[in-house]
Structure 1
Amino acid sequence: MRNSLKCCALIAAAFAGAAHAQELPKTAAFEAFGKGVQIYACKVSGNTYAWALKAPDATLSDAKGKVIGRHFAGPSWQANDGSTVVGASLNASPSPDAGAIPWLVLRAKSHKGSGVMASVQYIVRAHTEGGAAPASGCDAGHAGAEARVPYNAVYLFFRG
């Protein structure tokens, strides 16, 4: 796990860019494995229909498979102790895997509670599988419809 954390710390620094790279700690505080769905809604803008991300809905597990929290709209991550961090995207990079959602670096914009998420300052989403918006099926006959696309990702949480 430590090699994964160090690797992703370097990735995070590269994604965040020079201005933010100096702020990132050199190692992550902890990692979680997300498994769930990315929920998309079929929306119309003018005469164009497109799938738009509504929210993620995933469980977060540790390396042994024990559920330690959840990931949901915000984007938010909540630990089993009730503490929550909400992030704002700093940078995105396409996943090397076709059909996978991008890798992200996010900065904490708010916290709730005094548990494990209270001191998280950065979140990195990497090693994504699946979760990309559907390529078709969003049209006038499906406006308002939802699609739930399975995905997996590794989340790295950095403390300040």
Structure 2
Amino acid sequence: MMIKTTLAAATLLALTACASNMGAPAMYSQAMLPDSMQVPAGHRVAMETVGVGEITYECRADKDMAGKYAWVFAGPDAKLMSRGGQQLGKYYGPPATWEAMDGSKITGKQLAVSPGGDGNIPLQFVQANPAMGVGAMSGVTYIQRVKTRGGVAPASACGMANVGAKQIVNYQADYIFWKAA
């Protein structure tokens, strides 16, 4: 009986250890990103989020080429979610603004973009401006938009007949927030 109890306890302990490791998030790695998209040494990941939402495009006349029209990025509207599905904040604009649930928020300056693959908006690397308010966004130095899915401009016609028309497309992307180490 003692051997069965010990064996059962050891099995339970091993299963518990495996299950607890399954829920642990993997540390974010920049290894697959182009150099221009990588955060400089001396920074650490402060928060990883999954942005799920929409991007609005507007049909506009090209200011530099008479008679040319195009769908132009008008702004995002997304929820910033934890990997577990809890809302941590929101992303909206213009200007592009990342806001935590505690009210702290940041804007930033785009430093680089890189292709996100067919049908996906580009990856993006942003240097954060100082945070407004105190909270989760305080001290954020860089934001990376990676693992993009969807969000590209509509394929429908944009011309003189529908200038000012807006189209909304769904997208998803991971937003990685960095702070100085």
TM range (shorter): 0.7 to 0.9
Instruction: Work out whether residues 144 and 177 of structure 2, in 8 Å CA contact, stay in contact via their aligned partners in 1.
Output: yes
- SS state of the match for residue 100, structure 1? coil
**Are 1:34 and 2:54 counterparts?**
no
Equivalent-residue separation in structure 1 for 2:140 and 2:125 (angstroms)? 13
Q: 1:79 corresponds to which residue?
A: 100
Is 1:21 aligned to 2:40, yes or no?
Answer: yes
Matches within 5 A, 1:1-160: 1-3=25-27, 5=28, 7-8=29-30, 10=31, 14-16=35-37, 21-22=40-41, 25=43, 27-45=44-62, 46-73=66-93, 74-96=95-117, 98-160=118-180
Structure 1 residue matching 2:85: 3-state secondary structure? coil
Cα distance between partner residues in 1 of 2:96 and 2:34: 20
Contiguous gaps of at least 5 residues in structure 2: 1-24
Structure 1: gaps of 5 or more residues: none
Deviation at 1:109, TM superposition (A): 2.2
CA distance in 2, matches of 1:110, 1:159: 11
Instruction: After TM superposition, give the deviation of residue 135 of structure 1 in Å.
Output: 2.3
Q: Secondary structure at 2:174's aligned position in 1?
A: strand
Report the CA distance shift for 1:59/1:159 in structure 2 as closer, same or farther (over 3 A): same
Larger-Rg structure: 2
Q: How many correspondences in the alignment? A: 152
Q: Is the contact between residue 130 and residue 140 of structure 2 (CA under 8 Å) also seen in structure 1?
A: no
The runs of 4+ residues in structure 1 deviating greater than 3 Å are 10-13
Percent identity between the two aligned chains:
33
**CA separation in 2, counterparts of 1:121 and 1:145?**
36
How many Å apart are 1:14 and its aligned residue?
A: 1.7
